A and B are shown apart, each in its own frame.
Chain A
Amino acid sequence: MNLKQEKINGCTVLFIKEERIDAHNSGELKEAILHLIEQGEANIIVQLEQVRFIDSSGLGALLSGYKNAAAKSGKLAIANMQQQVLSMFELTRLNRVFEIYADLNEAFDNET
């Protein structure tokens, strides 16, 4: 899975450079987030601008990251979601779990 991470304004921003998150690559995403948290990076924003498709395993990988970050008193928020991807969060009510921001600026304003 093509991921890029950057430390911006005290947050670790994980850019997902893929159009599709499904059961083929969601395991890698889950591991990558877990690895960040184990390294002490527990304030994470996942930037989904390029992602146009997510399945249940992708949602599960993000939920796993959210729970692991919370267990370390951290946070995992989501930014730049496309409308169809957001609708999957709404259908599963996960939009009530995650903090969801329109873009990174909005995320930084709220997270820092």
Chain B
Amino acid sequence: MCNSIIQVEVIIPTQTKYLDLIGSIGEHIAKELDDFSGDREALAYHLNLVLTEATVNAIKHANHRDPKDTVKITIHIQENELNIKVYDHGQGFDLESVPLPDFEHPKEGGMGIFFIRTLMDSVTYTRQGDCNVLEIIKYLS
């Protein structure tokens, strides 16, 4: 048995109406962390945003041929590490090939992954069995 203080697992249909729910969970978790000494309001916004962007990304990359497809989101906090995993069942994409936004000539898309990379400490996207997993880590020291 691990000694996580918080473990959350949510499974949602691939619909954007659930983004508020997922983002809100992150926001509430940030406000409940006992030992976090940083800017709690900023962390709450950042977790809301990162969970929202990661879930949108999973919905976008979901298996659109399956109307019953789902996205699974897990949030684990163990000691000072906050770990988010978002699972999709689509074809996947190459995270490393996602470019930085062009700040001089801003475009409508492409800012989601930038937010996740900028606000969190580690981001990977890997194939695990029949799923792709976007794993995001934030150190809460």
Question: Which residues of A does B touch, CB under 8 Å?
Answer: 20, 22-24, 53, 55-57, 59-61, 63-64, 84, 87-88, 91-94, 97
Contact = CB atoms under 8 A, between A and B. Distances in A.
Interface of B: 16-17, 19-20, 23, 41-42, 45, 48-49, 52-53, 56, 59, 101, 103, 106-112, 114-115, 118
Contact of A22 (B20, B45, B107, B109): B20
A51 B110 CA distance: 22
A78 to B, nearest CB: 14
B52 A23 contact: yes
Given A24-B20, A92-B103, A55 B41 contact: no
Given A56-B110, A84-B41, A92-B101, 11 more contacts: A22-B52, A22-B56, A23-B16, A24-B16, A24-B17, A55-B19, A56-B109, A61-B108, A84-B42, A87-B45, A94-B106
Nearest to B60: A23
Given A22-B23, A23-B56, A56-B53, A97 B106 contact: yes
Q: Give the secondary structure class of A's interface.
A: helix
A27 to B, nearest CB: 9
Given A63-B106, A92-B103, A94-B106, A57 B56 contact: yes
A59 B111 contact: yes
Nearest to B27: A53
A55 B51 CA distance: 10
